[in-house]
């Protein structure tokens, strides 16, 4: 009888996990972004080739690149993960630099990958975003991302929904934003995550706000090492709406400060220029 009850409990919990935490951003899965299948890898390779060709054609030296690894449409968001790409990287042309959370862990690391490897995950949508700042801004950002400050502003404790103004955890887009702050702020002003966040707050950074209902929240807390709520406020908990650093909020922030930023979206098989 005990065994039957145990089996029933496991079945119920398993069903709850599958239904309650499918969102946001694949909250309840061991991987936020899954490893690519063979078919997915082939599509990702074609997409990355188009991205490379556009970057080379525009003669950029540095750009922000983003992918749509998970479905965020219910939050009005499209791209899930942003990194930076450097044309003349010591390891090869158009290498990327970004923060990665390994599957099934609560930790992150900074990694350098080829453009092809950056897009080689099971993408929700085969669309890439390129945001190339004006040339003077490219120089400032490149200097920041490939200097010791990028490592200083990295927090290993990962949280997919990390609060934008808390230093307890960090998500991948938040790391990009905080390093950008070190480049945009007056020289020497940003030397820590706290000073980066204070500068961002004082200079009008607006995070995305996403709804997470009580059921999904409970499932995420039980089953997801990379989704945590302890850095968010009581007000957010009560309202079930959480501030996060999204790709959209990162791009909007830099766009407001760099009128020369060129934005383009590339879908597999086609390309569409943005603003």
In this predicted model, what pLDDT tens digit does every residue of 218-242 receive, in sequence order?
Answer: 655 544 677 889 999 999 999 999 9
- Structural domain contains residue 158: yes
pLDDT above 90 for 24: no
pLDDT tier, 16 (very low <50, low <70, confident <90, very high otherwise) = very low
Percentage of residues of the chain with pLDDT beyond 70: 83
174 within some domain? yes
pTM of the model: 0.85
**Structure tokens that stand for 88 in this block:** 């003349």
Asked whether the predicted pLDDT for residue 30 surpasses 60, the reply is no
Q: Which residue is listed with tokens 């791009």? A: 251
pLDDT at residue 171, as a whole number? 97
pLDDT value at residue 270: 66
CA–CA separation, 127 and 6 (whole Å): 44
pLDDT in tens, 139-188: 999 999 999 999 999 999 999 999 999 999 999 999 999 999 999 999 99
User: In total, how many domains does the chain have?
Assistant: 1
**Ordered alpha helix ranges (H), 21-147:** 38-57, 115-118, 135-145
Residue 7 included in any domain:
no
Across 182-219, b (16+ Cβ under 10 Å) vs e yields bbbbeeeebeebebbbbbbeeeebebbebebeeebbeb
pLDDT band at 22 (very low <50, low <70, confident <90, very high): very low
pLDDT at 255: 97
The pLDDT value recorded for residue 227 is 86
Residue 141 lies in a domain: yes
Angle of helix 247-257 versus helix 172-184 axis, rounded to 10: 10
Question: Is 28 a member of any domain?
Answer: yes
Express each pLDDT in 96-107 by its tens digit. Answer: 999 999 887 899
pLDDT at 6 over 60: no
Q: Is residue 1 part of a domain?
A: no
Q: Which of 1-5, 57-61, 119-123, 265-269 has the lowest mean pLDDT?
A: 1-5
Q: Report which of residues 3 and 96 the model is more confident about.
A: 96
DSSP-assigned letters across all residues of 146-211 = TSHHHHHT--SBB-TT--TT-SS-B-HHHHHHHHHHHHHSPTTS--SHHHHHHHHHHTT---EEEE
Which pLDDT score, from 0 to 100, does residue 2 have?
37
**Separation between Cα atoms, residue 182 and residue 224, nearest integer Å:** 31
| The pair of three-digit structure tokens given for residue 94, joined into one six-digit string | 């158009």
What is the pLDDT at residue 10? 32
pLDDT digits (tens, 9 = 90+) for 35-69: 788 898 999 999 999 999 999 998 899 999 999 99
Amino acid 271: pLDDT: 61
Question: Would 56 be classed as within a structural domain?
Answer: yes
How high is the pLDDT of residue 11?
34
Domain assignment of residue 201, yes or no: yes
Domain containing 215 equals: 22-273
pLDDT at 8 over 90: no
């Amino acid at each position: 009888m005990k065994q039957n009850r145990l089996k029933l409990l496991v079945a119920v919990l398993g069903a709850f996990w599958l239904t309650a935490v499918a969102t946001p951003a694949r909250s309840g899965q061991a991987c936020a972004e899954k490893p690519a299948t063979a078919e997915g890898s082939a599509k990702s390779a074609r997409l990355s080739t188009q991205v490379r060709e556009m970057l080379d054609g525009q003669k950029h030296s540095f750009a922000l690149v983003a992918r749509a690894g998970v479905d965020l449409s219910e939050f009005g968001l499209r791209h899930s993960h942003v990194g930076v790409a450097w044309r003349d990287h010591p390891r090869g042309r158009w290498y990327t630099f970004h923060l990665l959370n390994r599957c099934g862990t609560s930790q992150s690391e900074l990694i350098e990958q080829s453009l092809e490897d950056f897009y080689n995950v099971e993408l929700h949508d085969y669309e890439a975003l390129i945001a190339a700042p004006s040339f003077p801004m490219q120089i400032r950002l490149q200097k920041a991302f490939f200097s010791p400050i990028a490592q200083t502003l990295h927090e290993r404790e990962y949280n997919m929904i990390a609060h934008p103004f808390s230093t307890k955890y960090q998500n991948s887009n938040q790391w990009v934003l905080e390093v950008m702050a070190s480049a945009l702020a007056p020289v020497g002003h940003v030397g820590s995550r706290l000073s980066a966040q204070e500068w961002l707050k004082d200079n009008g950074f607006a995070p995305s706000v996403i709804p997470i209902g009580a059921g999904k929240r409970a499932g995420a807390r039980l089953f997801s090492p990379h989704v945590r709520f302890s850095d968010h406020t009581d007000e957010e908990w009560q309202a079930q709406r959480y501030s996060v650093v999204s790709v959209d909020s990162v791009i909007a922030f830099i766009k407001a400060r760099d009128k020369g930023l060129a934005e383009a979206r590339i879908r597999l098989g086609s390309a569409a220029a943005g603003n």
